[in-house]
């Protein structure tokens, strides 16, 4: 499920950015726009999803609970990023954001519980990043990718002492290491 916890922060940032450009919108208008960015009809639906998601989290006895980390991946070309992340890896776009026409893209893509943020903004991430994704079904995933005949990458499987690993590198030199531990297999 998508995380909606940043929705209010997104609305606030949008209002501040627009105000700096001399455009004023109400807080409720900003919330409605953010809801549409998440693919929902209105803020009431998004708000209900936020409440449901918060009810699912189980904080430790001291009140501390972490949620899934969402890596920000630096991209330079939206078409190449979509060719790799959507067409090849099989992710889908959950939402996208631009501050206006001809502004950099910031979007969330996801697949099977994994969320990534792809960003054209120069300050968001450094190209050439490396991330580890623990998963189940890495053999099936590798076979799926091999069947796509992507001309730029032919990932294989490596048997390591901890389990199976498949590495992919995107067109911007960001590496993802998909790992399945022996215990998960």
Q: Does residue 50 lie within any of the structural domains?
A: yes
Is residue 19 situated within a structural domain? yes
- Residues spanned by the domain of 15: 1-57
183 part of a folded domain: no
Three-class DSSP category at 55:
helix
Quote helix, strand, coil % in the chain, to nearest 5. 30, 25, 45
Domains of the chain: total: 1
CB 67 within 8 A of CB 3: yes
User: What string of pLDDT tens digits covers the 185 residues of the chain?
Assistant: 345 667 877 888 888 888 888 988 888 788 888 888 888 887 777 777 777 666 665 556 678 888 889 999 999 999 999 999 999 999 999 999 999 999 999 999 999 999 999 999 988 998 899 999 999 999 999 999 999 989 999 999 999 998 999 999 999 999 999 999 887 65
Residue 132 lies in a domain: no
**pTM of the prediction?**
0.67
> Is 20 inside any structural domain?
yes
| 12 in a structural domain | yes
Q: Is residue 110 part of a domain?
A: no
- In a domain, residue 118? The reply is no
19 vs 22: CA distance, rounded Å: 5
């Amino acid at each position: 499920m998508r995380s909606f916890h940043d929705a209010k922060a997104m609305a606030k940032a949008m209002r501040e950015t627009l105000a700096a450009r001399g455009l004023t919108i109400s807080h409720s208008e900003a919330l409605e726009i953010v809801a549409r960015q998440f693919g929902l009809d209105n803020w009431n639906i998004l708000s209900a999803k936020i409440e449901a998601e918060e009810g699912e989290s189980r904080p430790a006895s001291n009140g501390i609970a972490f949620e899934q980390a969402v890596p920000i991946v630096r991209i330079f070309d939206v078409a190449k990023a979509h060719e790799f992340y959507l067409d090849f890896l099989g992710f889908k776009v959950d939402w996208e954001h631009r501050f206006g026409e001809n502004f950099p893209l910031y979007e969330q893509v996801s697949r099977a519980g994994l969320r990534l943020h792809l960003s054209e903004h120069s300050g968001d991430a450094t190209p050439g990043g490396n991330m580890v994704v623990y998963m189940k079904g890495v053999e099936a995933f590798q076979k799926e990718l091999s069947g796509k005949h992507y001309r730029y990458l032919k990932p294989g499987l490596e048997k390591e002492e901890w389990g199976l690993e498949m590495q992919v590198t995107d067109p911007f030199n960001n590496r993802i290491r998909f790992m399945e531990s022996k215990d998960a297999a």
